[in-house]
């Protein structure tokens, strides 16, 4: 073992700084960004005033080294992948797959969710976990919606399943490959593809059972601010005008319902001058019928995203027939079907008190002529409405669902007749860009999976192409970059650099081995697994593997045990990055979509680490004959 560093007091102060930082992260009373900034700033000031030097007097831990984490290739890979994921969302490139999973899961959503997670675990064994997580985040978000659950219930399980699947093969994780390289450099036998698959499968099986049964019970039911304010079940009155070629023409009601329209409630059918009210018995829809329907915002949004022909006529109802004058508003901001062009945004607005719109209907106010935006629906809490949209006279407090270009929606802030609920704004995907987005994403993943270029290179170039080809603009790309992730990873790497630079990590490892030297191989193996599993959530998993693989080999040789048993323990434990968001890249990727706090990872990850530790402690001695 190497001698402990002379400046051991600096090492102890580093321990104290890390403990305080983790305490603040876990408490959540101070924002992650501020905690990260203070942690990095404190370490920089301390090591500038009291530098760590070697025997020759040279500084071995500089402030530039502490800041090097903000230029980490792993960090840039994460941020670039977030931009690529935003491009997939903005372009609607994953609308088809998500609708496919949603359609399958509509009958048995729980079974579909479990099957999807098992598929993710299998794919993660043969692919880099990070792009796998990027691919399946929107899929699981859709399944969660079908199960009427918050995304917070499924996003951490997605990350954990990626990590568990990556434990089972040599290429499943960069940690595995790095440890294998160190083993070969030491002079031991080369690790083959499936050498540790059986113990890896044992751990993954136990972990998956935990993820399926226990983890969802520990995770919060957390919604976005917009979800909390708008309410998931809020319905709008909208209408569809049936033209001769509309796919609903000829549809006959069954038990009072129209089968193609499963997610909407038909409140009235206007046929000429005759209103047809429910219950609908043997009613066949005809050309010229106007369907007055109640639908949630999510249903209307999905209809616009998918371009479903069932909702053909939803936009056309807001054409020039709504105005008292010919429609001359078709310009560069409007497409031929009346749908505003450019970056489309869906937003809710409230009819303001003393608004000029009060007492007038949609036709009379000429909203599209004035604002360039289309009124998709009207929501009124006081009573059920069974009227054509043209017949509804607006009242103050009515909520209108508006579709328009981004610039026109922003301009509504200056409109005194309505109050935009800006937190409700949702950008709709531009499906014309979806093919480009899929191609870029496919090339990026292929290049990373087959090792043509490092993942940070593939992801950064992929993000550049997403912007350069117009899939998303600079503003949309910048919104995808989460400052919490940037500062959290930078601070974590700074703490890891300080821990290694002061000799703290080596000191802890040395103390572990020397303390347990009188015990048998099983106890030392178990203790090392637990120690590495804890440390990997503070250091990076790769740094932990680099530090402990040589220690594991020397410990096993001193005990006259096969060194690979201890090496595999380090590999598995270094992958147990479940308890902190900075512990693993996939944890960071799901942090935003799941709306997680630091404590969510602790509450869910610590029991999983303990469970895997117990599993390996019982399985390894039996399997390896210790």
Domain ranges of the chain: 8-72+486-584, 73-225+433-484, 227-320, 321-429
CB atoms within 10 A of CB 432: 10
> 310: part of which helix (H) or strand (E)?
none
In angstroms, rounded to a whole number, what is the distance separating the alpha carbons of residues 491 and 478? 21
Residue 449's pLDDT band, with cuts at 50, 70 and 90, is low
Cα–Cα nearest to 301, from 245, 268, 337, 263: 263
In this prediction, residue 571 carries a pLDDT of 92
- Token pair 């829809």 is found at 285
Q: For residue 131, what are its two tokens?
A: 């792009």
Among 72-76, 140-144, 305-309, the range scoring the smallest mean pLDDT is 305-309
Residue 209's pLDDT band, with cuts at 50, 70 and 90, is very high
Look at residue 558 and tell me whether its pLDDT is greater than 80.
Answer: no
What percent of the chain lies above the pLDDT cut of 90? 12
In this prediction, residue 606 carries a pLDDT of 95
Phi/psi zone of residue 304: left (φ > 0), alpha (ψ -120 to 50 degrees), beta? alpha
Whether residue 498 contacts residue 61, with contact meaning beta carbons closer than 8 Å, is answered with yes
Q: Which residue has the higher pLDDT, 463 or 74?
A: 463
Q: Which phi and psi (to 5°) does residue 111 adopt?
A: -65, -40
Residue 317's pLDDT band, with cuts at 50, 70 and 90, is very low
227-320 matches 321-429 in fold: yes
For the stretch 447-465, what's the b/e string if a residue is b when 16 or more beta carbons lie within 10 angstroms of its beta carbon? bbbeeeeebbbbbbbbbeb
In angstroms, rounded to a whole number, what is the distance separating the alpha carbons of residues 176 and 542? 9
Look at residue 321 and tell me whether its pLDDT is greater than 60.
Answer: no
Residue 201's pLDDT band, with cuts at 50, 70 and 90, is very high
Whether residue 412 contacts residue 270, with contact meaning beta carbons closer than 8 Å, is answered with no
In this prediction, residue 591 carries a pLDDT of 84
pLDDT 10s digits, 531-541: 889 988 876 67
Cα–Cα nearest to 123, from 178, 164, 182: 164
- Rounded to an integer, the average pLDDT of 86-109 is 68
Whether residue 491 contacts residue 21, with contact meaning beta carbons closer than 8 Å, is answered with yes
| Contacts for 115 with CB less than 8 Å, ≥ 6 apart | none
- Rounded to an integer, the average pLDDT of 477-482 is 77
**CATH class of the domain comprising 227-320:** alpha beta
Cα–Cα nearest to 238, from 347, 313, 148, 173: 313
**Mean pLDDT, the chain, integer:** 78
Look at residue 212 and tell me whether its pLDDT is greater than 90.
Answer: yes
pLDDT 10s digits, 582-596: 778 788 888 878 888
Q: Tell me the three state secondary structure of residue 225.
A: helix
- CA separation, residue 426 to residues 127, 332, 358, 418 (Å): 32, 22, 26, 18
Q: Tell me the three state secondary structure of residue 467.
A: helix
- Strands 418-427 and 344-351, by their bridges, are antiparallel
Q: Of 38-52, 75-89, 227-241, 603-617, where does the model show the most confidence?
A: 603-617
Residue 617's pLDDT band, with cuts at 50, 70 and 90, is very high
pLDDT 10s digits, 385-427: 666 777 788 888 888 888 887 788 888 888 888 888 765 666 6
Distance between start and end Cα atoms, the chain: 25
Is CATH 3.40.50.300 correct for 321-429?
Answer: no
In angstroms, rounded to a whole number, what is the distance separating the alpha carbons of residues 466 and 88? 9
Look at residue 164 and tell me whether its pLDDT is greater than 90.
Answer: yes
């Amino acid at each position: 073992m190497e001698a402990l560093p002379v400046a051991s007091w600096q090492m102890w102060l580093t321990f104290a700084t890390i403990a305080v930082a983790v305490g603040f992260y876990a408490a959540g009373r101070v924002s992650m960004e501020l905690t990260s900034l203070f942690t990095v700033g404190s370490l920089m000031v301390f090591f500038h005033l009291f530098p760590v030097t070697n025997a020759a007097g040279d500084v071995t831990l500089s402030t530039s080294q502490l800041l090097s984490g903000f230029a980490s290739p792993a960090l840039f890979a994460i941020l670039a992948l977030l931009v690529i994921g935003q491009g997939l969302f903005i372009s609607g490139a994953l609308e088809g797959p998500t609708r496919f999973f949603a359609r399958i899961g509509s009958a048995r959503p729980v079974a579909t969710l479990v099957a999807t997670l098992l598929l993710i675990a299998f794919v993660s064994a043969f692919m880099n976990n990070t792009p796998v997580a990027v691919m399946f985040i929107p899929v699981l978000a859709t399944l969660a919606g079908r199960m009427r659950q918050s995304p917070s219930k499924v996003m951490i399980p997605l990350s954990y399943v990626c990590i568990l699947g990556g434990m089972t093969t040599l290429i499943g994780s960069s940690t595995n490959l790095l440890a294998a390289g160190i083993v070969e450099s030491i002079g031991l036998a080369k690790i083959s593809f499936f050498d540790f698959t059986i113990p890896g499968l044992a751990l993954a099986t136990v972990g998956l059972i935990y993820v399926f049964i226990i983890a969802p019970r520990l995770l919060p039911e957390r919604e976005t601010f917009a979800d909390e304010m708008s309410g998931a079940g809020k319905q709008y009155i909208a209408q569809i005008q049936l033209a001769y070629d509309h796919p609903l023409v000829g549809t006959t009601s069954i038990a009072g319902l129209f089968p193609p329209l499963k997610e909407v409630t038909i409140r009235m059918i206007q046929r000429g001058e005759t209103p047809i009210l429910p219950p609908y018995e043997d009613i066949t829809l005809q050309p010229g019928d106007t369907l007055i329907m109640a639908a949630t915002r999510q249903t209307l949004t999905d209809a616009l995203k998918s371009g479903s022909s069932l909702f053909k006529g939803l936009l056309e109802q807001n054409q020039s027939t709504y105005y008292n004058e010919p429609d001359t508003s078709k310009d560069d901001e409007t497409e031929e079907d009346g749908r505003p062009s450019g970056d489309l945004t869906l937003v809710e607005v409230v009819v303001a008190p003393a608004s000029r719109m009060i007492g007038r209907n949609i036709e009379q106010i000429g909203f599209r002529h004035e604002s360039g935006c289309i009124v998709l629906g009207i929501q009124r809490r006081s009573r059920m409405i069974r009227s054509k949209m043209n017949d509804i006279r607006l009242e103050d407090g009515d909520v209108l669902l508006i579709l328009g270009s981004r610039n026109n929606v922003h301009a509504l802030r200056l409109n005194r007749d309505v109050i935009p609920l800006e937190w409700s704004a949702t950008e709709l995907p531009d499906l014309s860009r979806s093919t480009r987005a899929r191609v870029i994403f496919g090339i990026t993943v292929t290049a990373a999976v087959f090792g043509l270029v490092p993942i940070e290179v593939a992801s950064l170039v992929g993000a550049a192409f997403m912007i350069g080809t117009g899939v998303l603009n600079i503003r949309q790309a910048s919104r995808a970059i989460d400052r919490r992730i940037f500062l959290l990873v930078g601070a974590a790497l700074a703490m890891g650099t300080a821990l290694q630079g002061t000799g703290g990590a080596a000191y802890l490892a040395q103390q572990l081995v020397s303390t347990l030297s009188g015990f048998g191989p099983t106890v030392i193996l178990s203790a090392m697994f637990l120690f590495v599993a804890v440390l990997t959530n503070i250091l990076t998993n790769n740094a932990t593997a680099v530090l402990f693989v040589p220690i594991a080999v020397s410990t096993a040789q001193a005990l006259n045990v096969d060194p690979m048993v201890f090496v595999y323990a380090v590999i598995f434990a270094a992958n147990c990055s479940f308890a902190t968001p900075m512990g693993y890249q996939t944890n960071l990727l799901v942090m935003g979509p799941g709306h997680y706090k630091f404590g969510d990872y602790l509450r869910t990850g610590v029991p999983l680490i303990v469970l895997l530790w117990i599993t390996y402690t019982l399985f390894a001695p039996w399997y390896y004959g210790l």
